[in-house]
Structure 1
């Protein structure tokens, strides 16, 4: 028999398909003994039976499916049409009878709150809160039935339709239950979060409280007191001026009234009740096993819970062993200029690559952990080592100013200082690493010939890549995955030992040059020019090579036109029939042979490489042709070398003229030679890593193809949703889980993770430490960031979220979420660079200095706050972006 009504005592968390998220939560809490006002739910079966009485809904659903979310007028018109239609229908007698019977049993004389409860509402992954309607203080049979029917219709409010479209919920698959709950008439009410919704701190309970019904607070009509409780103690009280309150009317409905002046600044909830409410919140969170957003009320001295739902806005926590200590995590993606979510294989590869927090080379690191599809590095134990507390913030300042500042804030906390007992093994490894790197740096700066550095790096790179290719070719199946794990586990330690000291020597030499220039000359105004046109930088050479390729293409207009519509699968074949096509194809093959393993977001092994999707390079080639003259990129590079050499001569001449100038000149000359000779090696370690990622990818996909043939996988790229250990176990026939089911779930998780915004820094308590910038000299209203390449330019903004789809025009300023080597091909066409993440020594900053274009990084939400075509000023010296004319179009 179809049940149109279920009482709260008949409902628990398994009832969600019948009573929606809100109804299931209320029934679950009622059964668990929490103070829930009595009530019942009109089930989704009633809603479906009601909808079936309509002869028009099929057509209306079809129209919903065809809606474009950007066509707001059509959305509003269709939404109103559906609501009007549903409110005009007659409620079937059997549904009406079931509702009235439950209402009489619960108390016909009482007033009720009538709330919508959708089946896609109050879920751990999505909160539809506020998308449907609520009716308060409903009295009598007619008001009750009318409110329920309006709730059904409110499944098609404009905001509910839009929310479903945005979150990809099919309109036909979301059903509505209606919660009918006895009203309590609270003197005080509000919202409680069992984790701080602002900072994410999981051990802080945050309570908003105001007089009267909570509807005023939820709808934003009134200010509320804010109380925070941690470990049973009130740690914060912020009493607001509460000018109005909403109260229930005896005859039904509500009224908004002014709060008497003498009560407006009164604390709404006593300290005793604050602590009692927080304890109740802890119990509800414990019951559900997740942080909760709870509506509550205080009536007659008793606390009531009106509803509870999961908090969906919190960023997930990295999993750690429960050692009761607070941990400090920094975002790996912000360091690597790739903050997008990664698939499980990419995460597994990097946890294997990361050399710290491991028992053996092939294991996954316990110091690099995944959360929300991103990777976070646990620096806690390293920070317990006193020297690291000075070194780490300095190192991080070159990557991201806000991360560096957050680390200093964390280390100043009393709890950290109490827990900071050094781990002898960690300290020993850190000392060994520092000693090895420092020894090589000293030798590089004082003795070694810098002119050989790039040559030595190139030779080592070629030997290592060739060795890996040969070894990989000799293994297959599970043995090949084992080889990848061993190879990945040893790669970074090897690169640290063999190559890392070259670019670090260059960085340190540059810092010393700046220091000496300021001390001896009183300024370092010419020092930044030393960054221009560094020899041997593999990424800069890639940009020059792409410019050469574009210059070849520009000679043959048919080739350029072909490129604009080329397909990946037939990219090279289609060139054969065109004038100049064979010439371009030959040069393109040479470029791909050298750089085809690169791409935007290249640290993610699952991202398509240029060799797999060559059309990704087309926007850069076309942009180069549009924005630069033939050979201009090479001329710019030559001019950069001339400017750098002129700066060298000027600096040395000025130093020579100071007291003790001869010795100072020799030291400055040595430092400049060390910098110019070693800094070009900055990209070699990453270049080698990306080569290896592509080798690993080719090997894994070969094994995946075998698994597709056996029916284990549906498609080779399904392997991207497995870890290295899982792939190996599958190849060894030792994997017990349903592979298809596991992959399907992880695909859903990945889609959800893509919508999350990862924090730069977080603690194991979930607190997001935002960090603070130093004093800014930016004008009022400017967007402030970190200056990384000096100069001031004005121009039109071009927001680029994906370089594959970039369409830069001459003189435009590139606005990007981040850049990595896969974006380098756009830099020749850019007048300046603005990024949301990055620091002084991250990729975009270094390349911007080499190319001599101003750059500001770490500008929060730059790609949202700056619009295409806005005329802006970028000050790479002081570190700000100013929107000069929001209406001006390019």
Structure 2
């Protein structure tokens, strides 16, 4: 082997960070301890540096880096590393090392020289390729690992931590693939509850990459660390503790599990590693028979010197509240809010409490104040309403709301007020007081408009009354499906956005390769290189002017809109390039007419009932359209508030009062106001505060996710049950899409499987043959749009994204609310480490 380009793992130690990167150096150190590490070699950081210099990398991307053009830099690097000719000395050395290793299949893992440090793990930032067979595929994986040093997410990660991009090199670890029986990750200190006397272990059968990357939910073990009477030794490492299994959370009772003896042996190994490296460790491992292979050991970077902040006790929900949270929050708010998101909630919470009182319930003023002042919330639960005699007037209020023309009020008064409060201004030209004044005006107007808007949405309670004659007409078993059909075929603002996006994609497809190729290849910045491309970018700007306030992850100030982060929009355009048929509502209109005819025909035995039913239904349909239209327009308020927050973050950062602009979301509204008025603490104190809040958010969001998936563990067999949100049956290949940044994974005719959807996801319905979600209900945006497009949909199928494998054949029955798992998954997907 070359002494400078290639290094055996067994020759390395943690002193070789600059040569082998964090991963390679740590693996070499583990080998030196006599631990079982799959044999392999490292393509050194020097090899990468020589190749990058040969290709003139720094000269090509320096201009992009200077102005934070991450996407442009990534695209430049990807093309260079894919097509550039590799230095013969490097290629020859890699081929020789591979032959010497003698492994038929290898794992190829990136190992950057700045990763696996005590304050930055870089976990998941760079590529990993498993089961690589043959020298040519190894060289391709090597190029892609090198290129991953320059992915947009890696660039942003380094920028946020003030790491010089051009000072970082990357090595690549090549190891024999372990035919693992079980694999996963061990934390020697529980990073969720921040307890040093506990360990946390997650594992699953097979390879561990799916657990590490979050693509598979493994079995979770919690282990108790217990002090020994005296130190014991193992290989020269004194460890004065032992471990015991405290509890375990088996995701699937029928799934294989390792013996307790293997789990305890791994945990004791973790104690030894922590003692050797001098800090808590995040350990990736694989069990092969009775052997424990170590694949990684790095510091846990989510533990800080400060404790997490005190958290309120988990709210105890009755059954009705549990159903409301599952139906209304799990799909609209898939992650926990951050502290500054409470500023946005101040627009919504008073309006919701006003609505409770309007309906006839009373809310305790103390509970209301606590709701408004709460920083950390485990779920979006409103104060417990107390019924009063005014509830007897509810039917009359619903009837009056149905008769009122809410859309006319919205267009003539409410929307104009929102437009006025959110009108474009030069935010940078405002002084601090004027900037806060703009925010206060937006909050005031939106709260007042929302309070009146919710009085109009009360009319949708008429659906409860209409369910009775529908049940009489078609029977209890079919009532839910028929009710869904009766409110299908509705043209909403979401429909308009989806159609506009489709038309934008068609114009790209017809404009020629100068437009379609950059979109298809995920390099929209290349559109600036041609006249026709720049003209198309102007069309995109016009689209964003009209629709760019579309929210992504709920109404959170911390969740970027399409205007702030257009990546999901470009991914949608990429998927729609080859779609020639526009979204069609004709199928859903036919279902609506057929359902209406069936119900009214069977109700004809009661004089006047069919006509009354049809009139009430038409009013309900108008109410749903009004709800969707007003929701779309209200997103402008949150978008305008986000612009205010972004400029506050810029000001505080430039004044040296905030480490990075993104840290703003871990402050409270009161802190933001005080700091703008000159009361910011010293920067070191701010850094400690932000670290503590980030750690606390990790705990809160972990609880949020656990609650959202609490029913997933009960799913078993080959069938999942949920809510039939859009009728019809379809059979096809499942495509798992986990976030807005994976939209391009869905191809026409596949079945979209995701944790949730919100309005920004619905353009995918023009590609999808069916939709399955973990959470959500028949009244959600996803259900409405699925019915509009005639796409069979099952929402709230708990465990769908963990039970269904990407590429697996499934049967979706949107009428019965059933998903059947059929054939095995297709292979060939690349795992990301």
Check if 1:342 corresponds to 2:337.
Answer: yes
Aligned to 1:48: none
Q: 1:125 aligns with which of 194, 199, 215?
A: 194
With over 3 angstroms needed to count, the CA separation of the structure-2 counterparts of 1:149 and 1:647, relative to structure 1, is: closer
**CA-to-partner distance for each residue in 1:593-618, whole Å, 9 max, x for gaps?**
12101242142212222112323212
| 8 A contact 1:368–1:375 mirrored in 2 | no
For residues 775-830 of structure 1, the C-alpha deviation after alignment (integer angstroms, 9 at most, x for no partner) is xxx99531222332222211100000112322211211111111111111211111
What is the rounded CA distance, in whole Å, between the counterparts of 1:488 and 1:530 in structure 2? 36
Distance in structure 2 (CA, Å) of the matches to 1:137 and 1:711 = 48
CA distance in 2, matches of 1:119, 1:517: 55
**Structure-1 residue corresponding to 2:280:** none
Residues 151/653 of structure 1: CA separation in 2 closer, same or farther (3 Å cut): farther
Question: Within 1, Cα distance between the matches of 2:422 and 2:488?
Answer: 35
Aligned twin of 1:710: 655
Equivalent in 665, 669, 681 of residue 610 of structure 2: 665
Deviations 1:171-199 (A, max 9, x none): xxxxxx62179xxxxxxx97778xxx879
Q: What is the aligned partner in structure 2 of residue 30 from structure 1?
A: none
Alpha-carbon separation, structure 2, partners of 1:882 and 1:688: 38
* 2:691 match: 745
Q: CA deviation at 1:715?
A: 3.8
Q: For residue 557 of structure 2, what is the aligned residue in structure 1? A: 605
Secondary structure of 1:881's aligned partner: strand
2:349 alignment partner, one of 349, 354, 366? 354
Q: Give the structure 2 partner of residue 545 of structure 1.
A: 500
Aligned residue number for residue 588 of structure 2:
640
Q: Is residue 462 of structure 1 aligned with residue 531 of structure 2?
A: no
| Displacement of 1:629 | 1.6
Candidates 864, 869, 872, aligned match of 2:802: 864
Give 1:149 shift. Answer: 4.1
- Partners in 1 of 2:449 and 2:518 — Cα distance? 44
* Residues 135, 788 of structure 1: alpha-carbon distance in 2 compared, 3 angstrom cutoff: closer
Gaps in structure 1 of 5+ consecutive residues: 1-53, 69-73, 87-117, 153-176, 182-188, 200-215, 222-311, 388-426, 763-767
8 Å contact from structure 1 (residues 318, 369) kept in 2: no
| Partner Cα separation in structure 2 for residue 677 and residue 809 of structure 1 | 34
- Give the Cα–Cα distance (whole angstroms) in 2 for the partners of residues 220 and 857 of structure 1: 37
Residues 735, 547 of structure 1: alpha-carbon distance in 2 compared, 3 angstrom cutoff = same
1:500 aligns with 2:500: no
**Aligned counterparts of 1:757 and 1:867: Cα–Cα separation in 2:** 25
Indicate the residue corresponding to 1:652 in structure 2: 600
Distance 1:364 1:486 in 2: 22
Tell me the alpha carbon deviations over residues 489-524 of structure 1, each in whole angstroms, 9 at most, x when there is no partner.
663453232x2244442x334444432133145464
- Any conservation in 2 of the 1:554–1:625 contact (CA below 8 Å)? yes
1:178 counterpart (239, 248, 262):
239
- Corresponding residue for 1:381? 384
Aligned to 2:811: 873
> CA 1:563 to 1:854, structure 2 compared with 1: closer, same or farther past 3 Å?
same
- Matched residue, 1:786: 723
Q: For 2:670, which of 716, 721, 725 is the aligned residue?
A: 725
- Superposition deviation, residue 846 in structure 1: 2.4
Contact preservation (8 Å) 1:352, 1:365: no
The 1:380–1:639 alpha-carbon spacing in structure 2 relative to 1, beyond 3 Å, is: closer
What SS does the aligned partner of 1:823 have?
Answer: helix
CA contact (8 A) 2:224 2:244 kept: no
Residue 730 (structure 1) shift: 0.8
Whole-angstrom CA distance in 2 between matches of 1:149 and 1:675: 72
Structure 1: how far apart are the matches of 2:450 and 2:440?
16
CA-CA distance at 1:59 after TM superposition: 5.0
Q: How many aligned residue pairs are there? A: 577
Q: CA deviation at 1:487?
A: 4.1
Q: What is the SS of the residue equivalent to 1:683?
A: helix
Show the counterpart of 2:485: 529
Is the partner of 2:644 in helix, strand or coil?
A: helix
The partner residue of 1:579 within 518, 521, 532 is 532
Cα offset, 1:687, TM superposition: 2.2
The RMSD of aligned alpha carbons is: 4.8
Cα contact 1:837–1:857 (8 A) shared by 2: yes
Determine which of 567, 580, 592 is the counterpart of 1:629: 580
CA distance in 1, matches of 2:563, 2:773: 27
Q: Is the 8 Å Cα contact of residues 735 and 806 (structure 2) preserved in structure 1?
A: yes
- Taking the TM superposition and a 5 Å limit, the aligned residue runs for 1:821-860 are 821-860=759-798
Shift in Å at residue 546 of structure 1? 1.0
Partner Cα separation in structure 2 for residue 435 and residue 591 of structure 1:
47
Query: In the superposition, relative to structure 1, how do residues 735 and 646 fare at CA in structure 2: closer, same or farther (>3 Å)?
Result: same
The equivalences for 1:160-199 within 5 A come to 178-179=239-240
**In structure 1, what is the equivalent of residue 235 of structure 2?**
150
1:81-160 correspondence runs (5 A): 81-83=32-34, 121=189, 124-125=193-194, 129=199, 148-150=233-235, 152=237
Task: Name the SS for the 2:821 alignment partner.
Answer: strand
**In the superposition, relative to structure 1, how do residues 760 and 368 fare at CA in structure 2: closer, same or farther (>3 Å)?**
farther
- Aligned match of 2:13 in 57, 75, 97? 57
Distance in 2 of aligned mates of 1:220 and 1:716: 42
State the shift of 1:728 in Å: 0.6
For the 8 Å contact 1:540–1:847, the answer to whether it is kept is yes
Aligned to 1:756: 702
Residues 332-359 of structure 1: CA deviation (Å, up to 9, x unaligned): 9834523224332224432564227899
Q: CA deviation at 1:650?
A: 4.7
Alignment of 1:367 onto 2:320: no
Q: CA deviation at 1:744?
A: 3.7
- Secondary structure of 1:856 counterpart: strand
CA contact (8 A) 2:603 2:610 kept: yes
Contact map agreement 1:339 1:374 (CA 8 A) in 2: no
CA shift for structure 1 position 538: 1.6
Residues in 2 aligned to 1:857 and 1:690: alpha-carbon distance in whole angstroms:
24
Which residue of 2 is the match for residue 564 of structure 1? 520
Question: TM-score under structure 2 normalisation?
Answer: 0.59
Q: Which moved more, 1:813-822 or 1:697-706?
A: 697-706
Gaps of 5+ in 2: 1-9, 38-185, 202-222, 251-258, 265-302, 355-362, 829-833
Quote the Cα distance in structure 2 between the aligned partners of 1:813 and 1:613: 26
Question: Could you tell me whether the CA contact under 8 Å between 2:505 and 2:576 is conserved in 1?
Answer: yes
**Secondary structure class of the residue paired with 1:795:** strand
**1:827–1:848 contact (8 Å) kept in structure 2:** yes
**SS of residue paired to 1:605:** coil
* Structure number with bigger Rg: 1
For 1:704 and 1:580, locate their aligned partners in 2 and report how far apart those are by CA, in whole Å: 33
What is the rounded CA distance, in whole Å, between the counterparts of 2:676 and 2:509 in structure 1? 49
CA contact (8 A) 2:808 2:824 kept: yes
Q: Is the 8 A contact 1:839 1:858 kept in 2?
A: yes
Residues 360 and 652 from structure 1, CA distance in 2 versus in 1: closer, same or farther, beyond 3 angstroms? Answer: closer
Does the CA-based 8 Å contact 1:481-1:724 persist in structure 2?
A: no
8 Å CA contact retained: 1:873, 1:881: yes
Between the aligned partners of 2:224 and 2:406, the Cα distance in structure 1 is 69
- The answer on whether the counterparts of 2:588 and 2:787 sit within 8 Å (CA) in structure 1 is no
Shift of 1:699: 1.7
- Per the alignment, residue 515 of structure 1 pairs with 468
